[in-house]
Copies of this chain bind each other. A is one copy, B any other.
Amino acid sequence: MTALKENIVPVPGQIETRLWLQLLSLHGELFASLSAMLNSEFGLSLAKFDVLAQLDRYRDGLALGQLSQNLKVTGGNVSGLVQRLLADGLISREMSSEDRRSFIVRLTPKGEALFRKAADVHKKHLGKRFENVSARELDGALSVLKSLSSKLHTETKKQSRKR
Verify if A152 is at the interface (C-beta below 8 Å from B). Answer: yes
Report how many copies the assembly holds.
Answer: 2
The count of chain A contact residues (Cβ–Cβ below 8 Å) is: 52
B13 close to A126 (CB less than 8 A): yes
Instruction: From B18, B29, B130, B140, give the contact of A142 (CB < 8 A).
Output: B18
Tell me the minimal C-beta distance from A99 to chain B in angstroms: 29
The closest CB in chain B to the CB of A152 belongs to: B129
Q: Which of A20-28, A60-68, A89-97, A104-112 contacts its partner?
A: A20-28
CA of A142 to CA of B26, assembled, Å: 11
A142 & B15 in contact (Cβ 8 Å cutoff): yes
8 Å CB contact of A17 from B12, B13, B126, B147? B126
A15 touches B145 (CB 8 A): no
Residues of chain B within 8 A of A29, CB atoms compared: 149, 152
Q: Which residues of A are at the interface with B, using a C-beta cutoff of 8 A? A: 10-20, 22-30, 33-34, 72, 122-133, 135, 137-142, 144-149, 151-153, 155
